[in-house]
Amino acid sequence: MKNLDELYNQIKFCTIFTTGRTGSDYLQGCLDNVPGVLTFSGPIFYYNFCDTNHLNSFEKENLAKNLDLFIQNNSHLLVKNDVENKILNIDIEKFKESFFKISEKKSLTRQKFLLALYLSYHISLGRDINNINIMVHHSHHINETKRFLDDFKNPKLLITIRDPRANLKSGIVNWINYDQKRENQHHFYLYIKRIREDLKFALAQNNEKFFVKLEEADNIELKNKLSDFLEIKFDQNIMRSTYAGKNWKGDRVSQFTSSEGEGEYKKSVQDNKWQNFFSSKDKLVLEHIYKDYRIFGYKINKVNLINKIFIFFLIPLPFVFDKKVFSLKYYFNKNTSFKNKFCEIFFYLKRIVYLYMLLFKIRYGKNTWQC
What's the rounded mean pLDDT across residues 186-191?
Answer: 96
Residue 259: is its pLDDT beyond 60?
no
Q: Which three-class secondary structure state does DSSP give residue 138? A: strand
**φ, ψ dihedrals at 317, nearest 5°:** -80, 145
- Does the pLDDT value for residue 368 go beyond 50? no
Confidence of residue 158 (pLDDT cuts 50, 70, 90): very high
Residue 190: count other Cβ atoms within 10 Å of its Cβ.
18
Q: Which amino acid is at 32?
A: D
Q: Helices marked H in 170-234 — which ranges?
A: 175-178, 185-204, 220-230
Dihedral, CA of residue 335, residue 340, residue 342 and residue 343, to nearest 10:
-160
- What percentage of the chain reaches a pLDDT higher than 90? 77
Does residue 154 carry a pLDDT above 90? yes
**pLDDT per residue as tens digits for the range 283-334:** 999 999 999 999 999 999 999 999 999 999 999 999 999 987 777 556 667 6
Angle at 8 between CA 6 and CA 10, to 5 degrees: 65
CB 89 within 8 A of CB 79: yes
Average pLDDT over residues 44-59: 95
Burial zone of 196 (CB within 10 Å; 0-12 exposed, 13-18 middle, 19+ buried): buried
Interior angle at CA 77, CA 76 and CA 78, nearest 5: 95
Rounded CA gap, 13 and 1, in Å?
A: 20
Give the strand pairing for 246-247 and 242-243: antiparallel
Residue 108 to residue 97: CA distance in whole angstroms:
16
155 pLDDT higher than 50 = yes
Q: Quick one: pLDDT at residue 133?
A: 97
pLDDT-derived band of residue 61, with 50, 70 and 90 as boundaries? Answer: very high
Model confidence at 369, pLDDT cuts 50, 70, 90, reads: very low
pLDDT-based confidence at residue 341 (cuts at 50, 70, 90): confident
Overall average pLDDT of the 6-32 stretch: 96
